[in-house]
Amino acid sequence: MAKAINKPTKKAAPKKAAKKPVGRPKNIETPEIMWDLFQQYKKDTKANPFIVKDWVGGMGKQVLREKEKPLTLEGFNVWCFEQGIASWLHDYFMNKDGRYKDFANICSIIKEQIRQDQVAGGMAGIYNPSITQRLNGLVDKIQEDGSKEVTIKVKYEKKETPKD
């Protein structure tokens, strides 16, 4: 009778334990989802303009006018909160603790679209140009060398004294 030989069996390689994420899960899981949310915010914002009360004509007839709402990062943050999506988007845009590096490109695009909307709206007179300039750091700069030229004009009038 033949002796049974125990062949070494291949042991299954130990499975690597799935890396558990540290901290809270992200409210917005992917950059693609954030982009879709921004597109929805943009659509909702432009579809719901401000309604401004105004008076026209000699009799001061009251009318309601629509004024386009600008896109803002604060508006996007509030919109996401109101939708129950997230209460604080600033961590994504600031890449807090390096945890949001996958969102860096989409956050840059969102900021640029907001800036483009504000600057173009300010240039077209849709939004207040002065506020638009300040919000986006656009200023007129004047170079001065410190020297000034001043002209002073003096007008002298002789008063006559009455003669007795």
Using alpha carbons only, what angle is made at residue 152 by residues 140 and 150, rounded to the nearest 5 degrees? 35
Q: What is the DSSP letter of 103?
A: G
Q: How many domains are there within the chain?
A: 1
Q: How far apart are CA 99 and CA 91, in angstroms?
A: 9
Does any domain span residue 35?
yes
Q: Which of 28, 37, 29, 51 is nearest to 113 (CA)?
A: 37
pLDDT tens, position by position, for the chain (164 residues)? 555 555 555 555 556 655 665 666 788 889 999 999 999 999 999 999 999 999 988 888 899 999 999 999 999 999 999 999 988 898 899 988 888 999 999 999 999 999 999 888 888 888 887 777 777 776 666 666 777 777 777 766 666 766 66
Q: In terms of pTM, does the model score above 0.85?
A: no
pLDDT at 39: 97
User: How many Cβ atoms from other residues are within 10 Å of residue 107's Cβ?
Assistant: 20
pLDDT at 73: 94
Does any domain span residue 148?
no
CATH code, domain carrying 86: 1.10.132.80
| Cβ contact 50:39 at 8 Å | no
Does any domain span residue 14?
no
Could you list the residue range(s) of the whole structural domain that residue 41 is in? 31-135
| Cβ contact 95:104 at 8 Å | yes
